Amino acid sequence: MLGSFVGVLFDGFAYGMLLFLLSVGLSVTLGMMNFVNLAHCSFAMLGGYVTVTLMDRLGWPFFATLPVAFLAAAAASAALERALFRPLYRASDLDQCLLTIGIVFVSVAGAAYVYGTVQQPVQLPDYLRGAVTFGSLRFPVYRLFLIGAALVVTVVLVAALEHTRFGARVRAAVDNQRMARGLGIDVDGVFAVTFALGSGLAGLGGALAIEIVGLDPSFAFTYLIYVIIVVSVGGLASIGGSFVAATLLGISDMAGKYYVPHLGAFLIYLVMVGLLMWRPTGLFGRR
């Protein structure tokens, strides 16, 4: 009983860390430019497919593909930001929603065209397989690795945002865009870089997610919902908020699937709607 409880907690936490990686970029860019980017998970999916392609067809080692997944998603998002998103910063929520849903449709169909609708396998290196055991408790190595990776990303992100010049610009732009512009900060430039970084993190998350949740073209839709839950519950532009929300979501989703499987995702949506009604700007949201 206790063993299964710890197991669920551990798996949920690892899953939550995955959701955190997928969503933290969206949280920052949404808070900064108020741009409702529903295509965020398409970049994650791109990262996943880059990893699969490099490993399966070119025989690259798993770790070597991760930076490429990050860069590919970042580059693709930077290009899209330039071409499609920038004209719509001042447009209504609806237009932003529609444009990005359009991108999701195109990316889902594109992925299905190139890779088919089957789940893509990923062959992990041996040292990431297996599990560490403590008495009766079993901790899969890959999940430990995932948690470690997410914690490293969190520390790097927080340090970068709190202690670098670029981070100060980002925070200024999030807090008060007009004031930041008035002080001579190139908000559009800062946003473009932040946006690329955020999508890159999503790409990394997508690559890391394959082993846990699999990868097929519906990924962009399925995880979009989770990511948006994390962002809206955690509050915009709050890394700590995203972290807590992702952890909560990951653990409650795992617990729900384990203890009350017939309810499916019902519990998650219920928690989200309830939390939003209680705190419309999220747990850690300001305003």
Binding footprint of other proteins on the chain (CB under 8 A): 30, 34, 36, 84, 87-88, 91, 93-95, 97-99, 101-110, 112-113, 117, 217, 221, 225, 228-229, 231-232, 236, 262-266, 269-270, 272-273, 276-277, 280-281
- Residue linked to tokens 């071409």: 83
Task: Please give the Cα distance from 76 to 265 (Å, whole number).
Answer: 31
Using the minimum distance from each CB to other proteins, give the nearer residue, 30 or 204.
30
Q: Whole-number minimum distance, CB 236 to other proteins, in Å?
A: 8
**Nearest to other proteins of 26, 161 (CB atom):** 26
Which residues have C-beta within 8 Å of that of residue 176, sequence separation ≥ 6? none
> In 10 A of CB 31, how many CB atoms?
24
Nearer to other proteins, 25 or 140 (CB): 25
Q: Smallest gap, in angstroms, from Cβ of residue 83 to other proteins? A: 10
Give CA–CA dist 203/155, Å, rounded.
Answer: 18
Dihedral sign (CA 226, 231, 234, 239):
positive
- Taking the complex as a whole, the smallest distance from the CB of residue 137 to other proteins amounts, in Å, to 32
By beta-carbon proximity to other proteins, the closer residue of 1 and 94 is 94
For residue 164, the minimal CB distance to other proteins (Å) is: 28
Q: For residues 90 and 165, which CB has a smaller minimum distance to other proteins in the complex? A: 90
Q: How far is the CB of 287 from other proteins (least distance, A)?
A: 10
